[in-house]
Structures are given as C-alpha cells and as structure tokens.
Chains A and B, each alone.
Chain A
Amino acid sequence: MFLLHQDCWNWGRARPLIFGVLPPGLAYHALYAIGCAVVMALLVRFAWPRELELPGDDSRGEGGRGRGPDETGGRGETENRTG
C-alpha cells in the first residue's frame, strides 16, 4: 500500500479527466482511499487481536465501572517518582 501511494506515473498528467472532472492523479488517490478501506476490512477480518476483549467485558456497558482509576489512582501499581 505504501508503494502504491507513490504513484510517480501520475505526476505530470492533467488528462484525461476522469468522468470529465477528475484529473488522473486525484481519481487515483480517491480510488486508493477506497482501497485502504478494503485493506483495513481484511485486516479486521483476519488479524483482529481477539485477546484484547477480556471475558466479562460485555457486562460493563455504559456507565459500568471496571477496575478504574478509583482503584489505581490513575498511576498504576508500579509507579515511583524517581524518573
């Protein structure tokens, strides 16, 4: 995807105007953005980090209170002030 973003072949092209209005460089990158959405969909479908959802997370819902800052003081457990 990174290499496809560097479309040097469109650098100096003003024509043909796609649909009569879009220069080729702009049409290409509009299509590229759609391609990004497709790649992200594949990433989410096949490489989603399922371990992030802990058992019992569903029960929390709106306003739920898991182990929040009230319990850790927002500082975590290993904090020291030597840094």
Chain B
Amino acid sequence: MISAAIVFAYLAVVLYLGVFAFRKGRASGEDYFLASRSLASVIFLLALFGTNMTAFSILGASGLAYHRGIGVFGLMASASAFVIPLTFFFVGTRLWAFGKRFGHMTQVQFLRDRLECGHIGTVVFGLTAAMLVPYIVIGVMGGGHTLEAISGGAVPYWAGGGLVALVVMSYVFFGGMRGTAWVNTFQTVLFLCFGTAALVWIGRGVGGFEAVMERLASQPATAALLTRERISMAEFFSYMFIPLSSVMFPHVAIMCLTARRAEAFKLTVVCYPICILLLWLPSVFLGVVAADQFPGLRAGESDDVILRLLREHTGPVLAGVLGAAIMACVMAADSQILALGTMFTQDVFAYYGGRERFGERAQVWTGRAFVVGIALLAYLAALRLQDKEGIFELAVRFAFTGYAALAPVMVAAIYWRRATKWGALAATLWVAVAMAGLWWLHEWSAPLAPRPGQPPVPIFPALGGLFLRTPGGVTMFGFLPVMFLCAGSALLMWGVSLLTRPPSRQTVEKYFPNRAGTA
C-alpha cells in the first residue's frame, strides 16, 4: 500500500496544479482552450512532449520489445526523432502563425478558412474526433490497470480507473489548457527523471545488465531480440510514415497553437529527439531485459513488464515513485479530452451559431460540460469493455495510420495555394474508407494470422502478395498500409484540387501574401 499511497500523493499534486492554473486563468475562451497562446520555450517543449507521449510509449514499447527485440527503438523512436521535429518545423510553426494571425483555435478552423469550406470541415472534424476517442478510453483503462498493479490488487480496476478519470476531468475542467500544460510539464519531468532512476535500480536488481545481455545473446531462442530479425525491412522502411501523424493529432496541433512566439518552437525542434531518446531507450531496453527475467509471456501479458521489473527489483517506496512516473505517461488522456472539448466547442458549437446566440462564457462552459461528459463516457466504456482492451489498442494503432494519411491535406493547405476544399474532401473520404476497409480486412483475416516467427500468409492468393496477413496485422506487398494511404491521400489532394475551382484570390492573398501572383 505504500506504493499506492505515493501514487495517490502524485494524483493530489496533479490536481493541485490544475486548480492552481484555474486561479491564474481568465474566463475567456482563448485562455481556457489555448492558455492565451502564452507558453514559453521550456514549458512548451515539456508540455508538447508530454502531450505526445502516452501509455503506448512506455508500456506498449516495452511490451513490444519483449517480443520483437531492440528493433522497436529504430521502428518507432528514432523514426519519430527525425520526422516529428520536422513536422513541428514545417507544419507546426505555420499552423501557429496562421492561428495567431487569424484567430484559429483548431486545425479544422484553419482548414475551413484556408480552403473556404464549411461542412467539409465538419467531415474532417468527425474523422479526427472519432480517431481520438479510443486514446481516451485506453488512458482510463491504463490508469485502472496501473493502480491495481502498483497496489497489489488493493485498489481494484474500477476504482483506479474512476480515480484517474476524476482527477483528469477535474484539472482539465478547472485549468483548461493552462492546467493541462502545467500538468504535462510536471509529468514529463517526472518520467524523464525517474525513468533513468528506474533503469539504474532495476539494473542493480537483476545483477547487472551486462550479465543479462550476455545471457540473451548466448541463447539461440533470445539472441534474435538483440537484432532486428523479427522485423522485416519493408515494415521498418514503411514505419517512417507513421510519425507524420503527430501534427495531425488534434491534441498536438492545438498544443502547437499555445506557443507565445514562433521562437518557442526552436527549443522543441532541437530537443525533441533527445527527449525521445531519454524516454524510449530505457523502455525498449527494459522490455528486452524482461524477456530474460520473465520468459514465456504472451502478447497481452507483456505490456506490464516494466511494472513487473519494478515490483521484483525495487522497494515499495521507489516502486511507488516510479509507478507515479508511469502514471504520468498513462494519464496523457488529459490533453486529448481537452482537445475534443475544444474541437466540439469551436468546430461545432461556435461554428453553427452557438457562441453568437449564447455568448463566449456559455462557450467555455459548453467546453467544460463536454469534458465532464467525455470523461464519464470514457470511464463507463473502460468498465464495460475491461476485457476487450485489445479492441481499443487496435483502434489506436489504426488511428496512427489515419492521422498520418491526413497529413498531406494539412501540408497542401499550408504550402500549396492551389489546394481546394474538394481535394481535402476527396483525401479525407479516401482515408475514412481505406481505414474502414483495412479494419474489416484485419478482422476477416484474423483466422489466417500466422504465429510470431512464421512467414506472412496471402489473404487473397489470386492477388499474390498484395494483401499479406502477418501476426500483427495486414500489410501490402509487405509494407505497412500507411505508406499507400499517404500516397493515395496526396494524389487525391493534388489531382482533385487541380480539377476543381481554386480558392478565391482574397483567400490566396491572405495566406500567401508574397506569392499571390505566382503559379
């Protein structure tokens, strides 16, 4: 119970930060939803990193490394270390500048204004919001599971999940973006510092990592974990497209709008790869170490290997502190709940006349009511579907693909003056249909799925290697579908835009003041 008490203390600190931010805040919509666009460099970096890192980063990565080895770091972390800062540099800064100049609070507001569309923006809102919901449910589930594991079962899943949902809801409700940014900053510092501490203490506990790695390298069954033999080259190559999703995540894009100045992005662009290294290297490494300590875990059982290592090799106080650091990652649902609330109030409530009719104060309270509603629904879903966590994890994996495939729409809207709303609609519908098709194919081909280590199976033998079923999902010619979805989305955005009427000269001059007269 000592560990659980420390985690409760952590939750209390988080709650205080949210309420403290509430006291500093104002009653305006821009303050509640965007912290008055006031975040300075360091807070902006830590809050943005905390927003983008979820339970998937620390628990999912270690669980995956347990089965597939050290290649998981190259697959997800170092690819992100290259692509995500580039998306902030090329997309995030522009989104921020347009947002500040023209008053946008969400991606959809920017797209509506830039592409001169209304209901097409609502379609984009629907797709991006639908892909965000599984994250929130997963966050609540992760909180329930983590508290249950840390307390040794004394805090049951339903109580842990409820507590996490209540705490997150409270500080998002009171503190809005200011509270969320402060909490994310605190959480990022916590899991970066104590993640390193966990590595040191677990290293002592297992008798030194040198001995563990020597054991793994010397046994044929585990030596592959120290190589990339369990990841195909095609998968490794195509995974580079996944981090394109980062700036299309509504919570990340909205966080980009909170910077005080464009200069605030500089520190983030430069330091983001180092933050990724500090978080993911211990996660992946400990996942591989766990294969030596707890052999034989199945896919669903391996997500808590870091918690198992903590319980086995540290005392209750340290396990509690480190458990709080893990909770910091798990509780990334805050910015996602706030993003959904912001999107609903700005893209639906305000756009369809709610603010004009009821005023800005009502808009803020609508956002707060939405936050309560979403947190409650997420908790109920987490309770009802406790044993079906895999569905949400799958949905999250699909969401990465979907958001990445929407990136060409955003890039075209920012950099190509000829981009049109019809191009955006075609690309968005393509992503929605392709995602639904992939989901169906994934479920339909589940009985064909080979075991780990076995070669992929053609789903339709007549089509050759077009659709292959691997243990993890569906690939196309061995590549992840995200590559083809991105290419299709870019082609449609380009082709349909050229075939349809360009935006008005007024809009082009507004967004491309120096290039309005050029092709």
Give residues in A with beta carbon < 8 Å to B. Answer: 1-2, 5-8, 10-15, 17, 20-23, 25-26, 28-30, 32-34, 36-37, 40-41, 43-44, 48-49, 52-54, 57-58, 60-83
Across the interface, do A73 and B78 meet the contact criterion of CB distance under 8 Å? no
| CB within 8 Å for A63 and B506 given contacts A21-B209, A25-B228, A33-B276 | no
Q: Cβ of B269 < 8 Å from any Cβ of A? A: yes
Across the interface, do A5 and B262 meet the contact criterion of CB distance under 8 Å? no
Q: Cβ of B263 < 8 Å from any Cβ of A? A: yes
Q: How far is the CB of B479 from chain A (nearest CB, A)?
A: 13
8 Å CB contact of B217 from A14, A58, A70: A14
Between A and B, 6 residue pairs with Cβ closer than 8 Å are: A17-B213, A29-B73, A33-B274, A37-B274, A67-B103, A79-B112
Q: Cβ of B261 < 8 Å from any Cβ of A? A: yes
Complex alpha-carbon distance, A62 and B506, angstroms: 31
Across the interface, do A20 and B103 meet the contact criterion of CB distance under 8 Å? no
Q: How far is the CB of B337 from chain A (nearest CB, A)?
A: 20
8 Å CB contact of A81 from B114, B119, B226: B119
Across the interface, do B273 and A40 meet the contact criterion of CB distance under 8 Å? yes
Across the interface, do B277 and A11 meet the contact criterion of CB distance under 8 Å? no
Across the interface, do B78 and A60 meet the contact criterion of CB distance under 8 Å? no
| CB within 8 Å for A52 and B118 given contacts A33-B78, A75-B112, A76-B109 | no
Across the interface, do A75 and B351 meet the contact criterion of CB distance under 8 Å? yes
Q: Beta-carbon contacts of B94-105 to A below 8 Å, as 1s and 0s?
A: 101100111111
Q: How far is the CB of B436 from chain A (nearest CB, A)?
A: 22
Q: How far is the CB of B493 from chain A (nearest CB, A)?
A: 15
Our count of residue pairs bridging A and B at CB distance below 8 angstroms stands at 215
Those of B37-96 within 8 Å (CB) of chain A: 37-38, 70-71, 73-74, 77-79, 81-82, 85-86, 89, 93-94, 96
Across the interface, do B116 and A79 meet the contact criterion of CB distance under 8 Å? yes
Q: Cβ of B223 < 8 Å from any Cβ of A? A: yes
Across the interface, do A68 and B103 meet the contact criterion of CB distance under 8 Å? yes
CB-based nearest B residue for A41: B270
Those of B254-273 within 8 Å (CB) of chain A: 260-263, 266, 269-273
Complex alpha-carbon distance, A48 and B269, angstroms: 11
Across the interface, do B213 and A52 meet the contact criterion of CB distance under 8 Å? no
Q: How far is the CB of A7 from chain B (nearest CB, A)?
A: 8
| CB within 8 Å for A76 and B112 given contacts A40-B269, A81-B118 | yes
Q: Which residues of B lie under 8 Å from residue A21 when comparing CB positions?
A: 209-210, 213
Complex alpha-carbon distance, A46 and B73, angstroms: 29
Q: How far is the CB of B60 from chain A (nearest CB, A)?
A: 18
Across the interface, do A71 and B118 meet the contact criterion of CB distance under 8 Å? no
Q: Which residues of A lie under 8 Å from residue B31 when comparing CB positions?
A: 63
Q: Cβ of B360 < 8 Å from any Cβ of A? A: yes
Complex alpha-carbon distance, A81 and B116, angstroms: 8
Q: Which residues of B lie under 8 Å from residue A74 when comparing CB positions?
A: 103-105, 109, 346, 350-351
Across the interface, do B73 and A2 meet the contact criterion of CB distance under 8 Å? no
Q: Which residues of B lie under 8 Å from residue A65 when comparing CB positions?
A: 30, 36
Q: Which residues of A lie under 8 Å from residue B79 when comparing CB positions?
A: 5
8 Å CB contact of A83 from B36, B71, B86, B421: B421
Q: How far is the CB of A6 from chain B (nearest CB, A)?
A: 6
Across the interface, do B284 and A26 meet the contact criterion of CB distance under 8 Å? yes
CB-based nearest A residue for B74: A29
Complex alpha-carbon distance, A76 and B115, angstroms: 11
Q: Which residues of B lie under 8 Å from residue A26 when comparing CB positions?
A: 70, 73, 226, 281, 284-285
Q: Which residues of A lie under 8 Å from residue B312 when comparing CB positions?
A: none
Q: Cβ of B233 < 8 Å from any Cβ of A? A: yes
Q: Cβ of B29 < 8 Å from any Cβ of A? A: yes
8 Å CB contact of B100 from A23, A40, A66, A71: A66
Q: Which residues of A lie under 8 Å from residue B121 when comparing CB positions?
A: 83
**Sample of 7 more A-B contacts, CB < 8 Å, known A26-B281, A43-B269, A78-B510:** A33-B77, A33-B277, A37-B274, A57-B261, A64-B37, A69-B103, A76-B113
Among all A-B residue pairs, the 9 with the closest Cβ atoms: A76-B113, A83-B117, A81-B118, A83-B120, A62-B38, A14-B226, A23-B226, A36-B273, A69-B103
Across the interface, do B30 and A80 meet the contact criterion of CB distance under 8 Å? no
Across the interface, do A61 and B38 meet the contact criterion of CB distance under 8 Å? yes
Q: Cβ of B366 < 8 Å from any Cβ of A? A: no
Q: How far is the CB of A44 from chain B (nearest CB, A)?
A: 5
Across the interface, do B217 and A40 meet the contact criterion of CB distance under 8 Å? no
Complex alpha-carbon distance, A34 and B97, angstroms: 28
| CB within 8 Å for A40 and B227 given contacts A69-B103, A72-B102, A79-B112 | no
Q: How far is the CB of A58 from chain B (nearest CB, A)?
A: 7
Q: How far is the CB of A10 from chain B (nearest CB, A)?
A: 7
Q: Which residues of B lie under 8 Å from residue A73 when comparing CB positions?
A: 350, 355-356
